[in-house]
Amino acid sequence: MAKLQVAIDLLSTKEALELAAKVAPYVDIIELGTPLIKSEGLAVIKAMKAAHPDKLVFADFKTADTGELEAGMAFGAGADLVTILGSVDDATVIGAVKAAKEHGKGVVVDTIGVKDRVKRAQEVSKLGVEFVELHAGLDEQAQPGYSIQVLIDEAKRAGVPVSIAGGVNIDTIAAVKAAGVAVAVAGGAIYGAKDPAAAAKALREALDAA
């Protein structure tokens, strides 16, 4: 069964906690987006884990160097999963995986900006990561002609556990699920909705549908 991850790209701990309280019943993973962590620091991780100890808290660090150190910081603050950039040296991923093993937590590699996402996903999967995020970031999504179909096709070819992030919504989630993903990530489709709880519930139901 694929997991549902809410990506919270809001900028304050207060707003993030309010959103999480509304959508937590429908999601498995609560992602603290990179802008949120840059705005609020490690304290937002601590606050979210305290509020939702039963959920996986995902710190979207997008770490590019000192993998062991930064992953250790995220896990020490209460994160269950932390992201390392796929474009960086294997040594950074290996260091983060070392920290994850010490804390009993996990590393996710984010392929944002990677030219051959499938190849890199297959490479880093051998390094002990939990799963690989096939990700088109918000800037890439804003480019003319962007379609999530690219990520869906890549997920089908990957042959390793992946998530898809980059335009998952109620219209695309069935195809995302059919691609065999481990995790579907939805940001704007939830936090940008008039009724985030209803949006998360609808995505959950679509993901769980036979």
- 191 Cβ contact partners less than 8 Å away, ≥ 6 residues apart: 6, 7, 8, 9, 10, 19
* Residue closest to ligand LJD2ZHX5, measured at CB: 187
* Assigned token pair, 147: 């379609």
Fill in the per-residue mask, 126 to 155: x = in contact with ligand LJD2ZHX5 (CB under 6 A), - = not in contact: ---------x-xx--x--------------
**Residue from 185, 199, 206, 207 binding ligand LJD2ZHX5 (CB under 6 A):** 185
- Could you tell me the smallest distance in angstroms from the CB atom of residue 139 to ligand LJD2ZHX5? 8
DSSP 11: S
Distance from C-alpha of 165 to C-alpha of 3, rounded to nearest angstrom: 13
Query: In the complex with ligand LJD2ZHX5, which residue's Cβ is closer, 76 or 188?
Result: 188
Distance from C-alpha of 108 to C-alpha of 81, rounded to nearest angstrom: 7
Instruction: Give the three-state DSSP class for 108.
Output: strand
Count the neighbouring beta carbons within 10 Å of the beta carbon of residue 144: 4
Only one of the segments 30-38, 47-55, 68-76, 202-210 lies at the binding site for ligand LJD2ZHX5 (rule: CB under 6 A); that segment is: 30-38
**Binding flag, residue 187, ligand LJD2ZHX5 (CB under 6 A):** yes
Cβ(162)–Cβ(133) under 8 Å? yes
φ, ψ of residue 88 in degrees (nearest 5): -95, 175
**Binding flag, residue 123, ligand LJD2ZHX5 (CB under 6 A):** no
**Binding flag, residue 186, ligand LJD2ZHX5 (CB under 6 A):** yes
- 161 Cβ contact partners less than 8 Å away, ≥ 6 residues apart: 125, 130, 131, 132, 182
**Residue from 26, 48, 58, 60 binding ligand LJD2ZHX5 (CB under 6 A):** 60
Q: Residue numbers of the site for ligand LJD2ZHX5 (CB under 6 A)?
A: 7, 9, 33-35, 60, 135, 137-138, 141, 165-168, 185-189
